[in-house]
Structure 1
Amino acid sequence: MSIELKMPALSPTMEEGTLAKWLVKEGDTVAAGDLLAEIETDKATMEFEAVDEGVVARILVAEGTDGVKVGTVIAVIAEEGEDAGSVEAPKAEKGQPKAKETAEKAGPAETEEKTEPASAPAPKRGEGDRVKASPLARRIAAEKGLDLSALEGSGPNGRIVKADVEDAKPGAAPKPQAAASAAAAAPTAPAAAPAGEAKPVWFDDSIPHEIEKLSNIRKTIARRLTEAKQTIPHIYLTVDIRLDALLKLRGELNKGLESRGVKLSVNDMLIKALGVALEATPKCNVTFLGNDMVSYKRADVSVAVSTPSGLITPIVRDAAGKSLSKISTEMKELAGRAKDNKLKPEEYQGGTASISNMGMFGIKQFEAVINPPQGMILAIGAGEKRPYIVDDALGVATVMSATGSFDHRAIDGADGAELMKLFKELVENPFGMIA
């Protein structure tokens, strides 16, 4: 009996995902544990494994398809002894896309575009018809100044594909009606409107540009940050912190850790300091829930990591209770997998507070947006030589600015100030965080 593979729920909040890439093709034999596909969720790109052995009989959802609902049948596996060629695709349930629909909706990868012979001659287009073309073909056509309405497509149902535009030469200017039809069909604005909608009045398509489709991760970032700024009343508290003692201790610790292959970063030590400060000021280690308040007994620090897909925040669990060497080793491993979109959901979901360090970019000071449902985030600026009062005398010290963003519904200004004061003391007297 054939086995239906369904779009899995790879995180508790996942309702739909993008089938980013198939790692198998029809006719391939697979065993339990083999990788079948890469699926992009609202947080990361994750691998989908086979749980049974058999032969891939049908692939029902093309790679690149967006908005595939959890539970949608994406492929069929023929079991041992079953004729894969005789396996029929299951009937699509209400609300589920059909295989043909997903293939037409999915845009081909930019590095390679597959073309299929049309099963029937493509119908001739009239001047008012919408031009069918792949996103890659549209982009190449725009770069070469081609009129898509003047081309005949060799793809399914007359769809214009990469091969059709690569060798085409720019011709005479199209008729006004055809130009309008092509312009309406081509994606011309960053916020691309559905076919038939007018372009935004602010958009000037005479400026050279590219259209980049938003990933699920970027869409989630946009939604969550908008939600945070619209619903959370932020209060910002900034302190200047002298780093000389912490830098001296870091150098001494790294000499001792060299034989173990561990090299502490300043950020590793700041994660530890924030964890200790949160546990010492529990009124800031909270989540606001409308009519309730969650007070955490442990500090799990989410650390902002920039990746090609956008920002993600892997979590250092129990930051106050871990050694600096453990935090350093853990962060290097988490950051590496974050940049490869290989984090597991439990490694980035949760956390009681966040830290974002932009000092390596030379940013002196900034105010970070709270990562809901957390109650605060700490923004770290660059350490720099500044005039500073040392022992009642003007001197020069290495100083950084740190700004805490607090959810004012849950955290009073005085409590936020207490956390910032303690964080400053721990950094300026770093033995206090490792004792």
Structure 2
Amino acid sequence: MPAMSPTMTEGNISSWKVKEGDSFSAGDILLEIETDKASMDVEAQDDGVMAKILQGDGSKAVKVGTRIAVLGDPGDDVSSLEVPPDDSKPVQSEADNVKGGADSKYETSGVEKETPGTPQNKRPAKDKPKTSPTGPGQNPKYPLYPSVIALVHENHISDDEVAKIPATGPNGRLLKGDVLAYLGTIDSDYPASQSKRIEHMAHLDLSNIKVLPTTPKTAAKAAGGAAAVAEEKIPQVTGVSITVSLAEVLKVQKRIKDTLGVTVPLSTFLARAVDLANDDLPKPKHAKPSADDLFNAVLGLDTIPTTSRGTYLPQIDAFPVVPPRKAQATSLAHSPRVSTSTAKKIDIIDVLSGKVTPKRAAPFSTSSVSIPGRTLSTADGAVNVFSLTVPVGEEKRARTFLERVKTVLQVEPGKLVL
């Protein structure tokens, strides 16, 4: 009776699909078995002939491992075959509970195949242990490995014999090699030597590692080194600036107000321009790749990027530009507060004595727009200087940022509020 599952201990024979004397091929269904959970078909593993059926249709509670039929090789004369005596032992339920992890090899058909004069269920002479086993057996705290359970069932090793097999596995567990050594298939010392070799390889030998001795340093060298480190930590900065005209921004602002009746503040244009200009700036020369960039480069998942997002926020200063005046012959003509037409008709002595009051030139008209922390001049001809203070080596990155801000504000400011 084959075990169709790891927990099966007995089954019922529903019906035989072949009769005594019938030939069959590998894959043919030999019989149907019923358990308390399901009905299953048993297929032939090889070609053969049905020599004798020992458990007929309707047999109940047939223990796993009980002989139910005898098979012969293809072409055998069934009438001349001698059925060997049945010395197989049914598998007990207690053993199944302990060994409930048998693999698919254990779950194959249990129909025994016989050839004349040689019972298959007997262990071959070479499989018998050469000597009585000695040493500790399987640790009862752990179950048997599925491969060990399958090997035990294939060779019909009893529980008493299993308990006597020396266990060389971790935590005293029985290995497949221990069973093979007990059967005489491999050298009896092989499992133990393999376990020692694996255990030795599992530990890293650090005995040959030596600590590099530190060279003593004098107090003067230590002080000099500390000063040098302090000097290196002081960052060197430089300034980058550019002039920007807001004339186009003011035109767009006026068109929006005339069309929609909404006044968009200059701060909105500037904030949007700064945000766009900070995208994909070239990395400075001294920039180091991050740990993620290096890891991706090692794995070949990605190349180290050459750009990154900036965090620049420019300082804005407004300087009104005075229109140039004609050069004058007298020193009074160079004064921006005295009219050039009056300077030719008056005497300097009269001016100093208070007899003549020179006409003053009209002041240059300007207006300004206040932004938190900054003042922008909106007068015609005013110069707005956008500047940055950056570490040495970032000049190219900072200049690229300022050029982008200038381009957006002077060429296409309308896109900033779309």
TM range (shorter): under 0.3
Name the TM-score, length of structure 1 as normaliser: 0.20
Q: Would you tell me which structure has more strand in proportion to its own residues? A: 1
Name the TM-score, length of structure 2 as normaliser: 0.21
